[in-house]
């Protein structure tokens, strides 16, 4: 049986946890608050691959945005978007690049979107057909060195399009 002090402690902890969740939700990306999300940018059927979402930071590790990798299982396409968290609503140089790894038959291929954007760069889409992809996002930090996510490692190697009925397209 929990004492009165124990119940009060548990109530305080529960309220602090709720406040933390609400603060996190309210501190979401300003671009998302303006109605822009990676899923909306890429279009219907795309889902964020959370394990591949990366921060776009400068040399001091200040967060200026995030670069997202998404996948559409029906079309077999990957999509990448850089969402700004700094100077949102103001045009600043922002970019996203999605790279498909070369293999014996196909050369390496990059799709890039770079311009002075208000909310996000992208979407850029590729069909990797089972080959690995890499992606990178950058944004201008208004005077400081540009912020970048870096290339990271090759990911999504071997992912194939899933057709209706669970069959895989080769």
Q: Residue 60 and residue 41: Cα distance in Å, rounded? A: 29
Distance separating alpha carbons of residues 156 and 49, to the nearest angstrom: 10
76, 168 Cβ separation under 8 angstroms: no
CATH class for the region spanning 30-164: mainly beta
Q: pLDDT band at 146, cuts 50/70/90?
A: confident
* Domain segments of the chain as ranges: 30-164
Joined together, the tokens standing for residue 60 give 């001091």
**Radius of gyration of the chain from Cα atoms?**
20
Q: What is the pLDDT of residue 164?
A: 46
Q: How far is residue 36's CA from residue 56's CA, in Å, rounded to a whole number?
A: 17
pLDDT tens per residue across span 2-29: 554 545 444 434 444 433 332 333 345 5
Q: What does pLDDT average to over the chain?
A: 79
Question: Does 66 score more than 50 pLDDT?
Answer: yes
pLDDT tens-digit readout, 77-132: 999 999 999 899 999 999 999 999 887 666 678 999 999 999 999 999 999 888 89
């Amino acid at each position: 049986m929990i004492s009165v002090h124990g119940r009060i402690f548990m109530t305080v902890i529960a309220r602090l946890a709720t406040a933390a969740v609400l603060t996190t939700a309210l501190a979401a990306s300003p671009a998302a608050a303006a109605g822009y999300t990676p899923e909306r940018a890429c279009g219907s059927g795309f889902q964020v691959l959370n394990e591949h979402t990366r921060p776009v930071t400068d040399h001091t590790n200040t967060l200026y945005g995030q670069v997202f990798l998404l996948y559409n299982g029906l079309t077999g396409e990957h999509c990448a978007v850089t969402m700004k968290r700094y100077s949102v609503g103001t045009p600043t140089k922002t970019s996203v690049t999605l790279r498909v790894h070369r293999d014996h038959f196909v050369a390496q291929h990059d799709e890039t979107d770079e311009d002075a954007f208000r909310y996000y760069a992208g979407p850029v889409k590729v069909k990797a057909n089972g080959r690995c992809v890499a992606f990178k996002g950058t944004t201008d930090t208004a005077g400081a060195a540009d912020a970048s996510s870096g290339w990271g490692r090759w990911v999504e190697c071997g992912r194939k399009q899933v057709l209706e009925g669970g069959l895989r397209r080769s």
